[in-house]
Amino acid sequence: MSHTSLSPLPSSDRADVAARLRDALLGASFTADGLLDLLGAPAYAALARSETVPALRATRGDAPLETLVRLFLLQQPVPHARVADVLPVQDCLESGWLTRAGADEVAATVDIRPYGGPGGEDWFIVSDLGCAVGGAGGIGSREEGVVLGVGGASTTLAGITVRTPVSSALDLGTGSGIQALHAAQHATRVTATDLNPRALHITALTLALSGAPAADLREGSLFEPIADDETYDLIVSNPPFVISPGARLTYRDGGMGGDDLCRTLVQQAGDRLSDGGYAQFLANWQHVEGEEWQDRLRSWVPRGCDAWIVQREVQDVTQYAELWLRDAGDHRDDPAEYQARYDAWLDEFEARKVKAVGFGWITLRRTAAAEPSITVEEWPHSIEQPLGETVRAHFDSVDYLRASDDAALLDGHFRLVAEVVQEQVGLPGAEDPEHVVLRQHRGMRRATKVDTVGAGFAGVCDGTLSAGRILDAIAQLVGEDPVLLRDQTPAQIRLLVEQGFLEPAE
């Protein structure tokens, strides 16, 4: 793999310099909040789209924070004297965070981007120059081994990850180290792997600059760097999932045909999970003519694992090809070359009978249950991150429902989950609503139709009375046969628990 035109990286052995640099950055308010205050929301948002002009306009002064934004975010050379007022400049030059540019200026060797952790931590994500964000604007380098910073996919995965304290976590395909950084907050031991040695070096820098413990860094593809007998309580991966003709860009293209990389990753994860452990991935999958996409994904789930698979988006093959051609900046090339590349994508899809590509999340959980639960659903609607707690609750519900027959449900005590509201739908002025909808205002933000008994039942679930007792009271109230209600309602209770409207009150 050639890295000839990529800039040399700072030393990852100088923890003392990283600590001093971190102190200096924090001292100048080079944080997510500090940037927002300095740049204002529009210029800050433009940076996330790789647009720098608004930020350049906002940093024309010589305040310490403006100097740091120009140096590390906008990658402009800055006078040595100005930087020396803010940073330990000699240490940074010697250890490679900065380089000399012209007679009296210095320049950054890497992009350093402030990132706010979930508990208000001030973290810093290191990436290659011009590659802090990907997306439709195209990245700043076509180098094969380039290491990107945080994109929408990274933050999505970080948000859906279950964050219970664990002894071991594995970040597979770590890139700039964002998932390893999150995992270090709740895992005693973090292992991070990548096929690209440059990514492992940058992960070490991200962790050091963020004040996080070092991770066990291992080079190799997929589970190759992991010993056969090693298992983890948490495995996360934002893999190079793009389905493309050929492996042109390491950070993006998996180098296997079609969606084989994602399938292999999911299938091999089962054996690497400890009992009760979670594996969480972002993935792309093919929609193939004559095949249900849900069946394709069910076939990926390894034995001994429960699974929850959510398809968030579907693109037809032309939209998909255009998205990734633009991501690599190919739309700025010679039009004939762009056309040839586009053609190659469509040839590849045609040969595989692929009509569309799905994008979403896959969560596995190692289980000893005789019959694992596999849920595959489409959910293109808005959600509220972070979702880690919702994911954990989903699998808790799976366990509860698997162990509970109808009689156990009627003996059970339930609570209405927080932030669920009831909406009545019907014609204005009508005496009774046509139907009642329960709606979640957080997590998956689901809505479900219930009948008046279901709505009444959910409304009084506060954990004090058993489901059977509540139904008997409703039967008396509405003049129904209590035996009939006890027969009919468990299916509705099961659905409300499954979808996260009710939870068992332990």
**What are the tens digits of pLDDT across the range 18-45?**
999 999 999 999 999 999 999 999 999 9
The rounded distance, in Å, linking the Cα atoms of 297 and 306 is: 13
Report whether 425 contacts 434 (CB < 8 A). yes
Confidence of residue 247 (pLDDT cuts 50, 70, 90): low
For residues 473-502, average pLDDT: 96
Q: What does the pLDDT read at residue 469?
A: 97
What pLDDT digit, counting tens, does each position of 86-95 carry? 999 999 999 9
Question: Token pair of 57, please?
Answer: 């306009």
Fill in the DSSP letter of residue 250.
T
Fill in the DSSP letter of residue 212.
P
Report strand pairing: 435-440 vs 447-450: antiparallel
173 φψ region: left (φ > 0), alpha (ψ -120 to 50), beta (else): left
For residues 440-469, average pLDDT: 96
Cβ-proximal residues to 367 (8 Å cutoff; 6+ apart), any chain:
276, 304, 305, 306
Q: What does the pLDDT read at residue 329?
A: 75
Q: What does the pLDDT read at residue 141?
A: 55
String of b and e for 92-119 (b: at least 16 CB within 10 Å)? bbebbbbbeeeeebbbbbbbbbbbeeee
* pLDDT at 486 exceeding the cut of 60: yes
Q: What does the pLDDT read at residue 48?
A: 82
Confidence of residue 136 (pLDDT cuts 50, 70, 90): very low
Confidence of residue 135 (pLDDT cuts 50, 70, 90): very low
The pTM of the full predicted model, rounded to 2 decimals, is: 0.94
* pLDDT at 386 exceeding the cut of 70: yes
Confidence of residue 51 (pLDDT cuts 50, 70, 90): confident
What pLDDT digit, counting tens, does each position of 6-17 carry? 889 999 999 999
Over the chain, what is the mean pLDDT? 93
Confidence of residue 151 (pLDDT cuts 50, 70, 90): confident
* pLDDT at 264 exceeding the cut of 90: yes
* pLDDT at 188 exceeding the cut of 60: yes
What pLDDT digit, counting tens, does each position of 451-461 carry? 989 999 999 99
